[in-house]
Amino acid sequence: MRLLVTGGCGFIGSNFIRYILEHYDPEFVTNVDALTYAGNIANVAGLAAQYGERYEFFHADIANADLMDELMRKHHFYAVVNFAAESHVDRSINSPQHFIHTNVVGTSVLLDAARRHGVRRFVQISTDEVYGSLGPEGRFTEESPVTPSSPYSASKAGADQLALAFHKTYGEEVVVTRCSNNYGPYQFPEKLIPLMVINALQDRPLPVYGDGLNVRDWIYVDDHCAAIVAVLLNGKPGEVYNVGADTEMNNLDLVHRILAHLGKPKELIEFVEDRRGHDRRYAIDSSKIRTELGWKPLHRMEEALPATIDWYVANREWWEKLVP
């Protein structure tokens, strides 16, 4: 079985490729990535040598219909797993058109090419951010209204609806996953955890938006990868599956944990003006995927966060190339 994994040089995509090649022999993976700012070829270094013909890389923009046609003619793919996305909220506020190009137009091109070339399954990787902001109580379910707050989340919501429409209109086996905040190795340094770790290691200020009390639901990236595999193999077409680890934490507490692990002073924290449209709280109800597909997270933040911090400590050469 061969998978087309788009955005496979990004954080979650590269971890997914490593996960699938390690745990599901003899899966074959074709990785497509445009290598924009968050797509880093170093994230998949060594895979071709380690896995041989089971892994290949194709440098392309998913919004290029001719290239996607060329690729899908080359192989008979069982499924497309679409990670490809511009995903940094601050950048979407400054330049929303790039997010529409990749997240909406690119998804449309992939869906159409997959339909015409007989690809059986299409897994659309989305985010809990499409639901907008929660109050102090409750959790997002798959039935929660989609009310995005940023150009990024709006583009992802649009892509989700487009994917689900392809199921209703053409019968394409589309499944959508919406996951909470991920952490782990190979995450682009603009994201909260690597940014805080890297700044602390360099004794630079740690910028925290607003009062730092925005709450996120955190999940270790390998647990997310396992959930995607469960949905890929057994998810019901036309359905949405929320993925979360029931690990809510406000940003300030998270930063304190990072500083404590590194032995750095809290005085490095610098509160900065809050981001426009900054959602106050996210929390995911993942009972559907747990009940229907038997998935559950295996990593606790008490162990996985220190291990993640230690990865960035041990891999300075990786992130120093990305940090000005």
Name the active-site residue from 27, 33, 61, 129: 129
Name the active-site residue from 51, 55, 131, 152: 152
* Residue pair 175/235 in contact by the 8 Å Cβ criterion: yes
Residue 152 is a catalytic residue: yes
CA distance 114 to 209: 41
Residue 129 is a catalytic residue: yes
CA distance 36 to 96: 15
Task: Tell me the residue ranges of DSSP E strands in 169-281.
Answer: 173-179, 181-183, 206-209, 215-220, 240-243, 248-250, 269-272
Q: How far is CA 52 from CA 42, 56, 140, in A?
A: 17, 8, 41
User: Nearest CA to 172 among 228, 229, 115, 125?
Assistant: 115
Name the active-site residue from 33, 86, 128, 172: 128
Q: Which residues, at least 6 apart from 1, have a Cβ–Cβ distance to it below 8 Å?
A: 27, 28, 78, 79
> What residues are annotated to the active site?
128-129, 152
